[in-house]
């Protein structure tokens, strides 16, 4: 029992497999029509109401079997949605469904601005605008546009406590933005050096420290993560060790 208590009985992969099965089934509502109960029915059948699929018969099936199979087509998607809704709610409020399990938590350690150095501005002019300008006016316009874009980039440093197998960076974003983590890097526990590979450290008592860039950062907005909303601190100057570890590279 102790081993089972640390893991969900329905994992994320299990839930995705359930969704794939019901999504692959014949679309539309399924209704049980029972012999001797429903008017005009000569043999119990499950009627599938969308498309031209043939009726579904259960050889040797009881009335309860017919009702169960027919209702499962509607009931299972509703149950899956409710499981996902409750899990999201639990994560948002940092509550574990298992009182003996450690709750995964993400803490924001810092949000840092990218310095628009002369070298980075020059690279931006070459990458974004070709570096060749017809007039000084055009060059100044491009410099202003490049500086504004660089000013909207933030380096975000996070600490993940008790990460589980559902941890992912793929869905991290701010509300109303489609920007996702860019050039992510996993750090040592003190944040002073980089891991070469993804740290295989999940489970109660484990931690992961990481940084990534986010384009078009919105100050005052939270970060939406696989474990719910994470409040972000005000933007500040980037520490020298992070600037050296993870220099920003322009997106082509």
Q: Is residue 199 part of a domain?
A: yes
DSSP per-residue letters across 26-76: PPS-EEEE-TTTSTT-SS-EEEE-SSSPPPB--TT--HHHHHHHHHHHHHH
**75 and 186 assigned to the same domain:** no
Query: What's residue 124's pLDDT?
Result: 81
pLDDT at residue 131 above 80?
A: no
Q: Rounded to the nearest 5°, which phi and psi values hold at 34?
A: -110, 130
Query: What's residue 197's pLDDT?
Result: 60
* Structure confidence by residue, pLDDT tens digits, 199-220: 556 667 788 899 999 999 999 9
Polymer length in residues for the chain: 252
Q: What is the 3-state secondary structure (H, E, C) of 122-145?
A: HHHHHHHHCCCCCCHHHHHHHHHH
Q: Which domain holds residue 203?
A: 105-245
Which DSSP letter does residue 198 get? -
Which residue, of 92, 125, 154, is where some domain finishes? 92
Query: What's residue 217's pLDDT?
Result: 95
Which residue, of 92, 126, 148, is where some domain finishes? 92
pLDDT at residue 3 above 60?
A: no
Which residue, of 92, 125, 151, is where some domain finishes? 92
pLDDT at residue 101 above 50?
A: yes
Strands 223-225 and 228-230: antiparallel
Average pLDDT, the chain: 84
Q: Is the dihedral of CA 8, 14, 19, 25 positive or negative?
A: negative
Query: What's residue 185's pLDDT?
Result: 92
pLDDT at residue 89 above 90?
A: no
Mention every residue, 6+ apart, whose C-beta is less than 8 A from residue 188: 194, 195, 209
**175 and 112 assigned to the same domain:** yes
Query: What's residue 6's pLDDT?
Result: 47
* Structure confidence by residue, pLDDT tens digits, 135-157: 888 888 888 888 888 899 999 99
Nearest to 105 by CA among 167, 35, 42, 15: 167
Q: Is residue 20 part of a domain?
A: yes
pLDDT at residue 228 above 80?
A: yes
Per-residue pLDDT averaged across 91-96, rounded? 60
**56 and 131 assigned to the same domain:** no
Query: What's residue 99's pLDDT?
Result: 52
Query: What's residue 50's pLDDT?
Result: 66
- If pLDDT is split at 50, 70 and 90, which confidence band does 92 have? low
Number of domains in the chain: 2
* Structure confidence by residue, pLDDT tens digits, 52-79: 567 889 999 999 999 999 999 889 988 9
pLDDT at residue 184 above 80?
A: yes
Q: Is residue 99 part of a domain?
A: no
Q: What percent of the chain has pLDDT over 70?
A: 86
Strands 154-161 and 105-113: antiparallel
DSSP-derived 3-state class of residue 12:
helix
Which helix (H) or strand (E) element contains residue 155? strand 154-161
Query: What's residue 1's pLDDT?
Result: 36
Mention every residue, 6+ apart, whose C-beta is less than 8 A from residue 120: 114, 150, 248, 250
């Amino acid at each position: 029992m102790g081993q089972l208590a640390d893991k969900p009985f329905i994992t994320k992969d299990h839930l995705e497999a359930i969704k794939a099965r019901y999504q692959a089934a014949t679309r539309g509502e399924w209704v049980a029509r029972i012999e001797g109960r429903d008017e005009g029915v000569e043999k119990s059948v499950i009627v599938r109401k969308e498309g031209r699929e043939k009726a579904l018969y259960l050889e040797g099936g009881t009335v309860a079997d017919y009702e169960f199979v027919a209702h499962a087509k509607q009931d299972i998607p509703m149950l899956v949605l409710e499981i996902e809704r409750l899990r999201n709610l639990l994560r948002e409020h940092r509550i574990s469904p298992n009182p003996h399990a450690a709750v995964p938590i993400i803490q924001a350690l810092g949000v840092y601005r990218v310095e628009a150095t002369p070298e980075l501005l020059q690279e931006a002019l070459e990458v974004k605008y070709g570096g060749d300008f017809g007039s000084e006016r055009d060059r100044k316009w491009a410099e202003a546009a490049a500086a504004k874009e660089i000013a909207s980039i933030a380096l975000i440093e996070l600490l993940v406590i008790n990460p589980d197998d559902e941890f992912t960076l793929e869905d991290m974003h701010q509300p109303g933005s489609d920007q996702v983590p860019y050039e992510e890097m996993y750090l040592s526990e003190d944040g002073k050096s980089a891991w070469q590979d993804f740290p295989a450290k999940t489970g109660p008592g484990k931690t992961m420290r990481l940084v990534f860039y986010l384009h078009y950062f919105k100050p005052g907005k939270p970060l939406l993560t696989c474990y719910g909303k994470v409040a972000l601190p005000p933007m500040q100057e980037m520490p020298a060790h992070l600037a050296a570890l993870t220099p920003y590279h322009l997106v082509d």
